[in-house]
Every structure is written in structure tokens, then in C-alpha cells.
Chains A and B, each alone.
Chain A
Amino acid sequence: MSVASTLLAVEGLTKSYGGIHAVRGVSFSLRSGEILALIGPNGAGKSTCFDMLNGQNRPDSGHVRLLGEETTGKKPREIWRLGVGRTFQITATFATMTVRENVQVALVSHGRQLFNLWSSAPNYDRSEAGRLLELVGMGGYADRPCGELAYGDLKRLELAVALANQPKLLLMDEPTAGMAPRERVELMRLTAQIAREKSIGVLFTEHDMDVVFEHADRIIVLNRGTLIAEGSPAEVRSNPQVQAVYLGEGLLYEAGHREGASA
């Protein structure tokens, strides 16, 4: 892992809305195979920051580089083409299509067959779609309409879709939000496993501190738009600034831990 190159480099990312700085001068980097958590209290600028990485939002200044290539200001679909898979805080899937078809669409796009009018899509790369679904434990659901799935299954489907373009980087916005505690652990364990096997870098935001501290290799902490801490879980946990922020929020790690455990 130590030899892995820098996958994502963020420098001085800044965004403000009507005079309010949502994100101010945030810099960090991510190596291949590394799992990096982006945390912070509500309104810290996590989502804004995240949206600037995936192309949803354009920074006022600063740079985002993926494997040395500038992606600042690129559209989400262009960033995807560079090898970035992503999942959403509120799942976004194709509700009227089946689970397999959801993955197949991504495969079609990856294979640059989007404007292919004639061949049969139901047979398009079925084996690869099946493999991806098996990978996330959804093999048995391939023919189910996506609209019928439980929320946790949708999250897993999103992961399968995000893996369809053999990404180098996964961006996951609150990957476990809305899931039952056991599902959360499972999903993150699965993600971590895949990331390590394929040497994919993962950046995720998360509210659940259990998930964060158990799975992240490294954590960066945002507060009021600025980066206040960065380091290993142990380092961050003991950082007085971080504790102050979370205490102020009434969301001490231990409190969050208890809450999560009892839910």
C-alpha cells in the first residue's frame, strides 16, 4: 500500500454561496486501495465538497486531479469515464428496470454501446452483470424490478453499478444512510474487501462513527468548510479539536456509538 501512487489530489478547494463559505481551501489526497472517510458535523461542507469532486458542482477555486489529470469543472459523466464510480446518499437507481438491467446499462455505457440501436440489450454482457451482482450478494435478485427492492438492497445494487466501469476510485456519499446497523457493517466490509482486492481508492462521507472508525484507513474532518484534522482513526479520535467540534454538536463519538448500537 505504501507504494501505491496518488490517485486523487485535491488542492485548495473553495466554494461559497452568497458570501457564506461552504468549503474553504480544502486539500487532501488519496492513494489507490486506500479508504478515506470524510466526516464532519451537519453543515460542515461535506456534501458540497463531495459534489465538487464528482462534477455535480463547480468550485470557485482550487483543483481536483485524478491520476494527474485535471477534473475540476468536468461533468459527472466525464469524470465517470476517467474511472470513478459513485453511490448516492439517497439511492438513485432505475426504478422501472430490473436489478440486472440496472447493471447492464452501466456496462453498456462502459462498453460505449449507448447508441447501439440493434443488438439485444437483455443479452448484453449478462455474465459480467451476473458476476457484479454476485459480488455484492445480489445474485438472487437479478430479475427483480428495482422498484421492489428494500433500501439496503438498493444500496448494494448501487455498489454493483458503481463497479461496472472497473473504477479506480469510488465516491460514496453516506453509503450506509438509512440502513439497519447490521447491514451497514456488512456493506462497508464488502466495500473494503473489494477495494483492497482491486486496489480501488474509496472516499466516503458518513455519519455513523462505527462505520467510519472500523473501516477507514484514514479520516479527514471538516468543520465550517475547513479541514481541521487528518490522520488515522486513532489520531483523529484523540484530536482535541475534533472532540470539541463533536462535543459542541452533542455528538460525541461514544454517544454516537451507543446510539448506533442500541438502534
Chain B
Amino acid sequence: MAFYVVQFLTGLASAASLFLVASGLSIIFGVTRIVNFAHGAFYMIGAYIAFTLTERLSGALGFWGAIVLAALAVALIGVLVEMVLLRRIYHAPELFQLLATFGLTLMVEDLVVLIWGPDDLVGRRAPGFKGAVDFFGQNIPSYDLFLIVLGPVVLGILWLLFQRTRWGVLVRAATQDRDMVAALGVNQKWLFTSVFAVGVFLAALGGALQIPRDAVHHAMDLRIIVEVFVVVVIGGLGSIVGAFVAAVLVSELNAFGILIFPKISIILVFLVMAVVLIVRPWGLFGKPEAPARKTPGLAVNPWRPLTSNERLASLAALVIAAMLPLFAGNYALTVGSEIAIFVIFAVSLHFLMAVGGLASFGHAAYFGLGAYGVAFLAKMAGLPMIVCLLLGPLLGCMGAAVFGFFAVQLSGVYFAMLTLAFAQIVWSIAFQWVSVTGGDNGILSIWPEIWAASPSHFYWLALGVAALVTIALRAMVFSPFGYALRATRDSLLRSEAIGINAKRIQWTAFVIAGTTAGIGGALFAYLKGSVFPDNLGISLSVDALVMVLLGGVETVSGAVIGAIVYKALNIWLVSQTDLSKLVLGGFIVLIVVVFPKGIVGVLEMLAQRRRKSSPPGSPLIAKPIESAE
């Protein structure tokens, strides 16, 4: 019995820091609607600064002072980030802020290694909490007891802050209805800044408090960020109590889960999240989100098919690309193939995200399933390459059909998180089911057959498929189905009112996007000659998001440009410098600030401005759609 009590208490202690970080993320999201990917980075910086300070300042006062000081210092960094970076992009398209904070995270990961060195750092134990307390023969670390108390204390302080101060009332009001607070004449700028600072403070405090338990290292951020997202979503976005309950739930499930299934912790949080989202789509303590009000004057350039001149130009570009093997070496061709494959991947996500308004955080699942589909067919069934390429993507299609069915029942961030959960579940299966998937070591030797083996042939294959896929998806954007899909994105209310079954339209789009991603994955398996769980991992999903956002989520062709720029830059940087993350992150942050609508979005804006300034200016935008009237 004592054992179970202790296991329960241990779970509570693990919940404390998870709660601190999650509550900060939840507050920030609730008010600013920013999905702060950099939250883990702030957590990590908190730990690093606390490490440095606790090594310098001696005594108990020094230790605890250092913890608080570190959190304050990071909060200050947070304020700077908010004022310098985020303030500029609050009005950018949804999720663009995610791109900015992602870039920031990349930079921080390299920066901490530059500042604090590559070694894992192990800090001091907390003065007065070094030992353990005996509980019927079981030892409980006294620091755990401290954390167990701290969690509810922080919850209480936050509660008081939100219930008893004017600031708290504003924050709560803003969480429920941002427009209303703006209408009340509150200085929204400073409300946002202060909320961001509090959120970052909590993250950094969570990091600093890890000093006595954990090693400080440069990958701490990614290890916590996903879990924290999950906790926030299970608890309900914007709900502090929800974050607390979810943190306890996840930690306790983990503490007791490993007694029965020792291998479960790798997948547990995602299973819980998937179940919660399916049963209670707004999290345990969340409220159904009011449909986002579209800001009037949201000037999106109307989408239109290419004019004949543009078609010719695209064809010319394609022909030039196809001539690459005439003058480029094998390496350039292989890189070209890889970029073409990522164009396929990016346009598939773009179709779902930009056309359908469904931002998937787990799109790599279908890319990876396509790759594994090929691997199974080639290695187990021994089918010829062409058959594998045709049938392999069906695995992505099936995965998308199953998961998409559940995912499209949700929208916005909840949709994103459910897709993330599904992707992680698929990833864990690939990772754990060693006898079938080879686990971490993957499936090897899936090389192309002779006809496609030479880099130039494979390049032509990849380029051809990429061109076909891009054209097909583009045609779909301007098909009746594409119109219906955009309609469900713009207004669910209206589309239902004109007879559109929005869920079925979105589900179909999900399957189309998943299958297309699977085609990319199938080619990727042959390009690399192998598949690994990485092919369905989070970082690949994030890459796809970045490509779409970078190109411009409000444009039709953004994904193509985004994929080419991001992938080419990424490959080049990784090859040229060990600080590729710093440079790439800096580049992304720069793009976000300079091109708040993505690369293509800004190009379009410039082109439009030029056209508008040139007389004779009809107020209506001339639309040279090839007419069939």
C-alpha cells in the first residue's frame, strides 16, 4: 500500500513542473492566440541561467534567489521577444506566429551550446531538500514533497491573480473574447506583453526548478514542448485549472502505467490526448471556442487560375528544371530530387491547410506511411518498383481515411493537436514494433530499379511526379470541390446553409492530402533507399508547416516556393555550417518580420501594388480568367 501512495506522490511531483510550463503556455495562448513553440526554449534558458546563478550564488538564499532571478531574467527576455518580434506579426495569418517562435527555438538551441558548451550540466541540489523522507519503508525525496506543495500553491496564486486583480479580469475577458476587450478600450499591447511575460516566467521557473533533478542540456526544450502542448490541450486551452488537472492526470497515468506496461510512456500522453479530444473536443476544462470572427478587411487576393502567359512561364520553368541533368552533377540531382519530393509534401499540406483551413501538425504521418508502404511492398512482397510506387501511397491514404475521420470533427488548434496525436501514435508503432518495422533501425535497401537508379533518371521521375501532383492539386483548388472546400474554411455556417456537408468535404480533402503526402513518402523511400521512424516524426511535420507558412499560406503557389527555399537552404546550411540551426532560425525570424505574408504573399502584394499604381485604374481588379462565357 505504501508503495502505491509513494508512486502517487512521485507522480504528483512530476506533474508540478509540467503544470508550471503548461499553465504559462495556456495563458499565452488564451489571450494572444499564439501557439508559442518557443515555450520550451524559454524553459531551457530558465534552466541554463539558473544553473549559472546557482553555481555562483552560495547558500540557501543564494540558491532560491537564483531560481527566482533566473525566471525573472527569462521573463525579461520574453518581454523583449514579444515587443521586438511578436508585436509585428499579431495580424499575420493564423499560425504565422508559430513560425516565428519555431525560428526562435532553432536559434536558442544553437545559442545555448555556444554560451554554455556542449556538455550536460548537473546543478546543485536544493539546500534543505537533499534527502528523502521515510514513508513506511519507502523513500520520498524531500524535493518531491516541495514540488508537490508548489504545484497547488502556484495554482492558487494564479487563481488569485486572475480572480482578484483588474489585470486578471482583463486576461480572463480577453481569453473569452478578444474583440470585446479591445472594444473596452484596454491597452491591448501591454496586456499582451504582460501576459507573455507571465507565461514565460512560469516556463522559466519550471525549467529552473529542474536543476536539482535533471541535467541541463541543449535538447531540453523539444523534450518538454510537445508534452506541454498535450497537457494544455487535454486540460482545455486557456484553462489554468485544466492544465493542472491534465498535468496530474498525465503524470499519474505514467507513474502507474509503467507498472503494467513498462513501454507505455513513449505513447501514453498521445493516447490520452486522442481519447480526450475525440470524447471531449475542447479538453477537460475548456469551453467550445466561439467561431473565430473573420476580421473585416481581411484582404486576401482572390485566387484565380493561371493566365495563359503564366502557364507558359511555368512550363518554361519546368522545362528548365528538367534540363538540369545536362549540366549538374549527381549530388545536385539528388538534392533536386529531394526538393521535388518535398514540394509534393508541402503542396499536399498546403491543400489541407491553406485551401481547407485545417492546419495539420502531424502531416508527416501520411508521408511516412507512404514510405513504409513502399518498404513493406518492396521488402516483404518483393514487388517491382513501379507497383510499389503506385500502391505504397495507399497506406498513407488509409491512414488519412481513418485518422482524418476523427480529426475533421474538430477545428483550429484542436484539429492540429489531434493530428499531432495520431502522428505520434503512428510514429510509436513504427518505433516500437521492431519485428515488422525494424524499429529505430528502420528498413534498409529499398533502392530503385535500374531504370530509375541513376540520379538523373530519378530526378526526372521525382520532378515529373512533383509537377503532376502540383498541377493536379492546383486543378482541384479550382474545381467545384475546391470551391466547396474553401467555402467550409471561410464559413461553416454559410456552407452548411447551402447544403454542403462540411465534414465530408473536409474528410475527402484530408484523404487527398494524405494520399498525396504518401506519394512523396513513397518516392522518398526510394531516394534514400531506406525508411526510418523519422519519416513520420514531429520534426518532419513541423518542416512541412514551415514550408507552407514560409511560402505564404494565403496563396495558391506558396507551398512550392516555400518547399524549394526552405529545403534548399536547409540542405545547404547543414552542409556548410555546424550552426545551421542558428542561421536557419535567424533566417526564418527575418522572413517572418520582413515578409509577414510569406514569400509568395509579399511578392503578390508588391505585384498588385504596382498594378494599382499604374493607370488606368479600374477599382475592380481586372481578372483575365480565360473565359468560356
- Option from B294, B478, B496 in Cβ contact (under 8 Å) with A120: B478
8 Å CB contacts to A: which residues of B171-214?
A: none
Tell whether A105 pairs with B483 under 8 Å between CB atoms, given A80-B497, A118-B475.
yes
Q: Is the CB of A96 within 8 A of B483?
A: no
- Chain B residues with Cβ below 8 Å from A95 are 294, 298, 300, 490-491
In the complex, the chain B residue whose C-beta lies closest to that of A143 is B623
Q: Chain B residues near A54: list those with CB within 8 A.
A: 497
B573 at the interface (CB under 8 A from A): no
Q: Is A127 interfacial (CB 8 A cutoff)?
A: yes
Closest to B629 in A: A126
Question: Which of the listed residues A81, A114, A118 has the most CB atoms from chain B within 10 Å of its own CB?
Answer: A114
- A92 contacts the other chain (Cβ, under 8 Å)? yes
B501 within 8 A of A: yes
Q: Please state if B500 and A109 are interface contacts (CB–CB under 8 Å).
A: yes
Given contacts A95-B491, A106-B498, A120-B305, contact A145 B481 (CB under 8 A): no
Inside 8 A of A108's CB, which chain B residues have their CB? 480, 483-484
Query: Smallest CB–CB gap between A153 and chain B, Å?
Result: 12
* Chain A 92-132: CB-based contact to B (< 8 A → 1; otherwise 0): 11111110010011101110011111111111101100000
Nearest A residue to B291, CB-CB: A92
Task: Tell whether, in the assembled complex, residue A120 and residue B479 are in contact, meaning their CB atoms are under 8 Å apart.
Answer: yes
Q: How far is the CB of A146 from chain B (nearest CB, A)?
A: 8
Residues of B within 8 A of A101 (CB): 302, 483
Contacts of A93 in B (CB 8 A): 490-491, 494
- Interface status of B482 (Cβ within 8 A of chain A): yes
Q: Are A109 and B629 in contact, CB atoms less than 8 angstroms apart?
A: no
Separation in Å of the B528 CB from the closest CB of chain A?
Answer: 31
> CB-defined interface of B489-511 with A at 8 Å, one 1/0 digit per residue?
11101111111110001001000
Also in contact, A147 and B294, with CB within 8 A (given A110-B499, A165-B498): yes
Known contacts A114-B480, A120-B478: does B500 contact A147 (CB below 8 Å)?
Answer: no
Contacts of B484 in A (CB 8 A): 105, 108-109, 114
What A residues does B483 contact at CB under 8 A?
97, 101, 104-105, 108, 121, 124
A86: shortest Cβ distance to chain B, in Å?
A: 5
Q: Which residue of A lies closest to B621 (CB)?
A: A143
Interface residue A189 (Cβ < 8 Å from any Cβ of B): no
A94 and B482 within 8 A (CB): no
Contact call B481/A117, Cβ cutoff below 8 A: yes
In the complex, whether A161 has a CB less than 8 A from a CB of chain B is yes
Residues of B within 8 A of A110 (CB): 498-499
Q: How far is the CB of B53 from chain A (nearest CB, A)?
A: 50
Q: Is the CB of B496 within 8 A of A77?
A: yes
Q: How far is the CA of A98 from the CA of B508 in the complex (A)?
A: 24
| Residue pair B491, A94 in contact (C-beta under 8 Å) | yes
Determine which of B302, B490, B494, B505 lies in contact with A143 in the assembled complex, contact meaning CB atoms within 8 Å. B302
- Asked if B304 and A105 sit within 8 Å, CB to CB, the answer is no
Chain B CB within 8 A of A88 CB? yes
Q: A121 and B482: CB pair below 8 A?
A: yes
**A143 neighbours in B (Cβ, 8 Å):** 302, 620-621, 623
Q: Which residues of chain B from 609 to 629 have a CB within 8 Å of any chain A CB? A: 620-621, 623, 625, 627-629
Q: A117-B479, A164-B498 are in contact. Are A94 and B486 (CB under 8 A)?
A: yes
Closest to A82 in B: B499
Closest residue of A by beta carbon distance from B482: A121
> How many angstroms between the C-alpha atoms of A58 and B81 in the bound complex?
48
For B, the interface residue count at a CB cutoff of 8 angstroms equals 44
Chain B residue contacts of A165, Cβ below 8 A: 498-499
Chain B residues numbered 259-301 whose CB sits less than 8 Å from any CB in chain A = 294, 296-301
A110 to B491, CA, bound (A): 18
On chain B, the residues within 8 Å of A115 by CB distance are 480-481, 505, 508
Q: Determine the distance from Cα of A105 to Cα of B304 in the docked complex, in whole angstroms.
A: 15
Does B476 lie at the interface of the complex (its beta carbon under 8 Å from any beta carbon of A)? Answer: yes
Residues in chain B near residue A127, CB distance under 8 A: 629
B479: A residues at CB distance < 8 A: 116-121
A144 CB–B CB distance under 8 Å: yes
Q: Which residues of A contact B300 (CB under 8 A)?
A: 95-96, 145, 147
- Which residues in A have their C-beta under 8 angstroms from that of B22? none
CA distance A54 to B482 in the complex (A): 26
Quick check: is B487 within 8 A (CB to CB) of the other chain?
yes
Are B299 and A80 touching (Cβ within 8 A)?
no
A96→B298 contact, CB < 8 A: yes
Report the minimum CB–CB distance from A213 to chain B (whole Å): 28
Do A92 and B305 touch (CB < 8 A)?
no
Q: Once the chains are docked, how many angstroms separate the CA of A124 from the CA of B487?
A: 15
* B625: A residues at CB distance < 8 A: 122
The interface residues of chain A lying within 8 Å CB-to-CB of B497 are 54, 76-77, 80, 86, 88, 92
B493 touches A94 (CB 8 A): no
Contact A105 B476, CB 8 Å, known A95-B490, A143-B621, A147-B300: no
Q: Within 8 Å CB of A113, what residues of B?
A: 480
Q: Which residue of B lies closest to A99 (CB)?
A: B302
Binary contact track A136-165/B, C-beta < 8 Å → 1, others 0: 000011011101100000000000010011
CB 8 Å contact bits of A20-53 with B (1 = contact, 0 = none): 0000000000000000000000000000000000
Q: Contact: A121 with B496, CB < 8 Å?
A: no
A76 to B499, CA, bound (A): 7
B301 to A105, Cβ gap below 8 A? Answer: no
Chain B residues contacting A118 (CB-CB under 8 Å) are: 475-476, 479
- The CA-CA distance from A113 to B498 in the complex, in Å, is 13
Q: Does A258 touch B at the CB level, under 8 Å?
A: no
Which residues of B are found within 8 Å of A86, using beta-carbon distances?
A: 497
**Structural contact, A77 and B299, CB atoms closer than 8 A:** no
Contact A147-B501, Cβ < 8 Å, known A94-B494, A105-B487, A105-B495 = no
Chain B residues contacting A106 (CB-CB under 8 Å) are 498
Among residues of B, the one whose C-beta sits closest to the C-beta of A125 is B480
Q: Give residues of chain B (64-98) contacting chain A, Cβ–Cβ below 8 Å.
A: none
> Contacts A76-B496, A97-B486, A119-B479 given; 4 further ones with Cβ under 8 A?
A97-B483, A97-B487, A115-B481, A121-B483
- 6 tightest A-B CB contacts, nearest first: A94-B490, A92-B494, A116-B480, A108-B480, A96-B300, A80-B499
Interface residues of A (CB under 8 A from B): 54, 75-77, 80-81, 86, 88, 92-98, 101, 104-106, 108-110, 113-124, 126-127, 140-141, 143-145, 147-148, 161, 164-165
12 chain-A/chain-B pairs, Cβ below 8 angstroms: A88-B493, A93-B491, A95-B294, A95-B300, A108-B483, A114-B505, A122-B478, A122-B625, A140-B620, A145-B299, A145-B301, A148-B297
